[in-house]
Structure 1
Amino acid sequence: MRSVPTWALVSSGCAPVFLVMGWLVAAALQGHPYDPAAQTISVLAAPGNSGSWVMTAAFIALGFCHLLTAWGLRPAATAGRMALAAGGLSALAVAVVPAPSSGGSLSHGSVAVAGFAVLAAWPVLAARAGTDVPWALRPFPSLGATAVMAVGAVWFLVELHLHGVAGVAERAVTTLQSVWPFVVVLSCLRGSVRDECPN
């Protein structure tokens, strides 16, 4: 089993930090009119908003983190690495095609949906069989991660349609999607250390 470079721990670990800090700082700059429970994080990056530059920078940083992690995650199946990289490109596209300050946008919505889909699919696509496979790349945990992310994405769409707590649902899903690569990298590095230790 090919090893994961230690820098992948940094790229995967920084992804959720950039994302969460981005929406916290951008929401603080935006102030009172913004409702984080009901409104999406994409609204924070809308042109004209006070914190748009912060959220845009966070999406760009998140995208590069996913791209770097996909490059370094050599034990994962190629399809999963490509899906994670596609998730990184989707984050960059969300920054390039921001949501409007009011109303909807087909182009932004399409990019966001594509990002949700590939980031939900990548764990199961990255799975491998075998006794030497790190636990987070084994079929059962990978399928579980994909299932939870898919359910979270459906929850987000339902809340968006019902004008409910779409912001809460989106934050839950995106946090999980940004943390899972770190979990996978950590499991790969722990497996490498265990293999190198003498019995």
Structure 2
Amino acid sequence: MKSLGILGILILSATSFFACSSGEGSSGSENTPPASSLDVTPSISACGGFLGASEGAKIPPSPDPATYCEAERLLWNYDAATRTLGLLDARIQLNCCGRHSIDVAVEDGVHVVTQTDAPEKLENGDEARCGCMCVFDYAADVAPVESSTISMRILRNVTDQKPPVTLVWEGTVDLTAGAGEVVLSTASAEPWCSNKEP
């Protein structure tokens, strides 16, 4: 009888231990802040930028044809009602042949814009580039963006380059201004800027 009582105490102790352990794990996960979730609507131009692209490819803000070839610019606008930030990196010089994508994520409080350029895939699985350069526009609508001022970092990942990832720009954007632009590069884009076809 005594041994049954001791066995009962051991089972009760073990059950309490597992219940406490499980409870602590649950409480710890509740204290972990959720990952930032952004709705990103991307749009990337064909060679020649949105100036030479078909209708429907454009996401505001729009590049100015009069100054387009002079510099690579980050153009942005902000709609406070919908908490949507429109971004456009205009006149990016890249190889004419590539697979392009853009993503935006919040990392440690910084809005990180990652622009990717990867070689074209051939039918046999090989990767290939062309012998020419083009200008492209990378754009995205990002929501929800709620702060009045945000920190931003633009990274360019050219996957077959060494090193593949380079920092294009890092700074702050004052969304209370409603719209603005940042000159990212004044390097000449001639003769590629006027080309509309690869």
* TM > 0.5: no
TM-score (norm 2): 0.27
Greater helix percent: which structure? 1
Structure with bigger gyration radius: 2
Q: Whose strand fraction is larger, Structure 1's or Structure 2's?
A: 2
